[in-house]
Amino acid sequence: MAETRTKLKGAVSTGLVLVLLTALVSGVSNFVNAWVAKGTNTNTDVFFTARNVLVAAALLPVAFLARRDVRARLRRSDWGRLALIGLIGGAVPFLLYFRGVQIATTAGGFTSARFGFSALFLMATAFAVIFLRERVSARVLLAGIALLAGCALLLLTTEPVWSDGIVLVLLATALWAGEYTLSKRTLRDLPSGTVAAGRMGFGAAFLLGYLGISGQLGGLAALPSGQWPWVALSAILLLGFVCTWYAGLKHVDLSVATAVLVLGYPITWALRVAWGLDAFTVAQAAGAAAVVFGVVLVVGLVSVRDVLKDTIRVVARLTPR
For residue 226, what is the DSSP state? G
What are 186-200's pLDDT values in tens digits? 999 999 999 999 999
- How is the chain split into domains, by residue range? 10-318
- Report how far residue 71's alpha carbon sits from residue 298's, in angstroms, rounded to the nearest whole number: 36
- Report how far residue 311's alpha carbon sits from residue 305's, in angstroms, rounded to the nearest whole number: 10
For residue 63, what is the DSSP state? H
Q: Which of 22, 28, 93, 112 is nearest to 295 (CA)?
A: 22
The per-residue pLDDT for 101 is 80
- Helices and strands counted in the chain (H then E): 16, 0
The per-residue pLDDT for 5 is 43
- Report how far residue 266's alpha carbon sits from residue 140's, in angstroms, rounded to the nearest whole number: 20
Query: Crossing angle for the helix pair 76-90 and 164-186, nearest 10 degrees?
Result: 150
316's CB contacts (< 8 A; 6+ apart) are: none
pLDDT in tens, the chain (321 residues): 444 344 434 456 788 889 999 999 999 998 887 676 555 556 788 988 999 999 999 998 877 666 555 655 788 999 999 999 999 999 999 999 888 887 877 766 666 777 778 889 999 999 999 999 998 888 888 898 999 999 888 877 656 666 778 889 999 999 999 999 999 999 999 999 999 999 999 999 999 999 999 999 998 988 888 888 888 999 999 999 999 999 999 999 999 999 999 999 999 889 989 988 888 899 999 999 999 999 988 887 545 555 556 556 655 554 555
